[in-house]
Amino acid sequence: MTSAVEELLSLLRLERLEDNLFRGQSRDIGTRYVFGGQVLGQALSAAQQTVEGDRAAHSLHAYFLRAGDIEHPIVYSVERTRDGGSFSVRRVTAIQHGQPIFNFSASFQTEETGLEHQLPMPSVPAPEDVKPADPLPPEVFDKLPTKLQRWFGRSGPFEFRHVYPRDELSPTKRPPFQHVWFRLTERVPDDPPLQRALLAYSSDFHLIGTTMLPHGISFLQRNVQVASLDHAMWFHRPFRVDEWLLYSCDSPTAQGARGLARGMIYSEDGRLVASTAQEGLVRVRNGAA
Do residues 258 and 279 lie in contact, with contact meaning Cβ atoms separated by under 8 Å? yes
Per-residue 3-state assignment (H helix, E strand, C coil) for the chain? CCHHHHHHHHHHCCEEEECCEEEECCCCCCCCCCCHHHHHHHHHHHHHCCCCCCCEEEEEEEEECCCCCCCCCEEEEEEEEEECCCEEEEEEEEEECCEEEEEEEEEEECCCCCCCCCCCCCCCCCHHHCCCCCCCCHHHHCCCCHHHHHHHHCCCCEEEEECCCCCCCCCCCCCCEEEEEEEECCCCCCCHHHHHHHHHHHCCCCHHHHHHHHHCCCCCCCCEEEEECEEEEEECCCCCCCCCEEEEEEEEEEECCEEEEEEEEEECCCCEEEEEEEEEEEEECCCCC
Active-site annotation holds for 204: yes
Give me the catalytic one of 38, 42, 275, 278: 278
Among residues 26, 88, 203, 204, the one annotated as catalytic is 204
Pick the catalytic residue: 228, 248, 251, 267?
228
Active-site residue numbers? 204, 228, 278
